Amino acid sequence: MLLKRYIPIGIVAFFGALTLSAWFIDNETIETFANDDATQFFDIIAAFAVFLGALNLLKLQFIKVLKQQSGWQYSAIAIASFFFAFIIGFFIRGAYFVGEEVYFSQGAAEEAVLALGSTEQVVPVDWGAHVQTDGSLFQWMFKYIFSPLSATMFALLAFFVASASFRAFRARNLEASLLLVAGIIIMLGRVPVGSLISSWVVMYIIAFSVGFGVNAYTRNRNMALGWVLGSFGLITGLGFTMGWPIDQPAIFYLPALQEWIYLVPNLAGSRAILIGIGLGIVATSLRYIFGLEKSYLGE
């Protein structure tokens, strides 16, 4: 009980309180521990987590291939891709310089020297630097395989987001209607066609939409028609007075309106979410420090 329960709780409480105190105590030793040592501890733990995650990925994919479950062919491709990236990352330099040229193998570099009759020496890149050297095998894999696949996945994700947005933006209630209108304004305001839509067109659309809402709420067509005709007449008169400028009144110009939505309501909501996340982190950290949270013990 002591080794499995109380000692781990004491270790977590001690280091958690020590790291937290660095933000409130002006002590160089404690600040160095929180900013440097604790960060290195986290990196080490994260490295082991990545290692375990890779093993778990291989385990699941191998089981799928051995049992030939649905889609096992893709699992086989995933396993082959994993070992390909692993081998060229840890066992193959993949970057041998002959002057300014880079070759994937030492043999290819030496053949190039002989073919060109050059006096240049074959210079292999240092281990570790080979994964970041332009023209190396690892960078070739990253640039011509990984990056296009990532771009493809994000391109497909855009269609899923559009489909989800279509389902979420159905104007079933006031909140969904506001979300729908804000989404349309943001999308139109951020594309070139949005800057070509006059503020007056937006005002006419708003006036018509309000009239439609009045009719739906009061069930009085005469009142709704009177609102639409009166507002259209007012907008038209104001337009002739101002000379119909495309970006005036600015509050109805889509690029300016979407910028306001993005910088004011959206930013306020984002900050509220971040504050909530911060409070949640504080609460969870205190639960770990005081020994109330024992999930890391398997409880």
Burial class (CB in 10 A: 0-12, 13-18, 19+), 252: buried
Examine the domain organization and report whether 140 and 209 are in the same domain: no
pLDDT at 277: 94
Burial grade of 86 (CB within 10 A; 0-12, 13-18, 19 or more): exposed
Q: Is 295 inside any structural domain?
A: no
| Residues 14, 80 within the same domain | yes
Q: Which of 122, 138, 168 is the last residue of a domain?
A: 168
* Measured distance CA(137)–CA(106) in Å, rounded: 12
Query: Considering the domain boundaries, does residue 98 fall inside one?
Result: yes
Q: Which portions of the chain are predicted below pLDDT 70?
A: 1-3, 118, 168-174, 296-299
Q: Is residue 280 part of a domain?
A: no
| Cα separation values, 145 from 83, 148, 152, Å | 14, 6, 11
In a domain, 12, yes or no: yes
97 and 87 within one domain: no
Q: What pLDDT score does 299 carry?
A: 64
* Domain-located, residue 193: yes
Tell me the pLDDT tens digit for each residue of 251-298.
Answer: 888 888 888 888 898 899 999 999 999 999 888 888 888 877 777 666
Residue 285 falls within a domain, yes or no?
A: no
In a domain, 279, yes or no: no
Confirm whether 72 is domain-assigned: yes
Q: Could you tell me if 81 and 99 lie in one domain?
A: no
Quote the CA–CA distance of 139 and 94 in Å, as a whole number. 9
Alpha carbon distance 74, 266 (integer Å): 40
**187 lies in the same domain as 151:** no
Give me the pLDDT at residue 1, please.
63
Q: Compute the chain's Rg from CA coordinates.
A: 31
**Co-location of 75 and 13 in the same domain:** yes
In terms of domains, do 86 and 99 share one?
no
Q: Which of 110, 136, 168 is the last residue of a domain?
A: 168
Say yes or no: 130 and 181 in one domain.
Answer: no
Domain boundary among 168, 186, 212: 168
Within this chain, do residues 253 and 177 fall inside the same structural domain, yes or no?
A: yes
Could you tell me if 134 and 162 lie in one domain? yes
Say yes or no: 101 and 87 in one domain.
Answer: no
Structural domain containing residue 25: 1-91
How many structural domains comprise the chain?
3
pLDDT at position 75:
92
The reply to whether 162 and 177 lie within a common domain is no
